[in-house]
Every structure is written in structure tokens, then in C-alpha cells.
Amino acid sequence: MSETYLKDALSTLRESGVRITPQRHAILEYLISSETHPTADEIYRALEDDFPNMSVATVYNNLKVFLNTGLVKELTYGDASSRFDFASHDHYHIICDDCGKIVDFHHPGLQEVEHLASHMTGFKVNSHRLEVYGTCPECANMKRQ
């Protein structure tokens, strides 16, 4: 599945006139395969051995390109660092209050909320965002010990 996402994402970049550099390819591949919603610094650290001449600024600049083409979403949940999520499909996030871990989940019923909101207000709904907060299983286990 991630190969298809990568192929489609690279096509989107080419269609947008964006040149595919080895660094861009690696950052995109990392985001697609990551389930952790990494920060730019985490992406940099994960790839620095393969690209010793790449800087954190290069990662940020490429993330900006991906944001502008709609391939990546920037997640800001109150802490100082933005996290990045490959925009493969509509989904929501549950965030651990203790460690900051973010996990994806999908609930198709929430699309009905957009339709209802549009119907009740006359707005043309462009998007919505749902965040659920709690304690992840790992942090809950640590608290019990």
C-alpha cells in the first residue's frame, strides 16, 4: 500500500512542477511509512546517516513543499513542535496527554457532521478537525506500577 502512496505522491509533485531530489524522495518515503507523526527534527535524525550533507532546514523546506501540494498535513496540538502526517486519507487523531503520542483512527460517521453543519448554517464546509485526548496504554501501565 505504501508503494502506491509513494508513486502517487511523486506523480503529484511532478505534476506540480516540483523536481524529485533524493532528499525529497527519502523524506516523503519516511513520512508515508511512519506511524508516529514525526517532527522535522525527528525526520532529520532518521535520515541524517543516509544524507550527511542534508540540514534540518532542507527537511523544513521540503515539508513546506509537501504542505503546499497537499501531500502532508501539519499537526499542531499545543506543544512547541509541529508534527507532520502524510495525507493518505481522511482520519482523526487521539493524543496522549502524558507522552504526546498521536494515533490515527477513522470514523466515517463524522462526515455526516459536515453535512449537518452545512445544512443547518448554510456554510459550504471545507474541512473539519477532530482531536481526542487521553492516556495511551503505555502511559497508563506506567502509572499503575
108 pLDDT above the threshold of 90: no
Tell whether residue 106 is among the known ligand binding residues: no
Asked whether residue 63 falls in the same domain as residue 107, the answer is: no
Annotated binding residue at 96?
yes
- Summary mean pLDDT of the chain: 88
Summarised one tens digit per residue, pLDDT across range 60-77 is 999 999 999 989 988 887
| Rounded distance between C-alpha atoms, residue 3 and residue 90, angstroms | 19
Q: What is the dihedral of CA 133, 136, 141, 143, to 10 degrees?
A: -30
**Residues 116 and 65 placed together within one structural domain of the fold:** no
pLDDT of residue 104: 81
Domain count, the chain: 2
Ligand-binding annotation for 136, yes or no, is: yes
- 115 with 135, same domain: the answer is yes
Same domain, 83 and 94: no
- Say yes or no: 2 and 36 in one domain: yes
Question: Is there a binding annotation on residue 25?
Answer: no
**Are 54 and 11 members of one domain?**
yes
Instruction: Give pTM, 2 decimals.
Output: 0.77
C-alpha distances (whole Å) from 132 to each of 23, 35, 77, 80 are: 33, 17, 11, 19
Asked if 83 and 139 sit in the same domain, the reply is no
Looking at residue 11, its pLDDT comes to 92
* 37 in a known ligand binding site: no
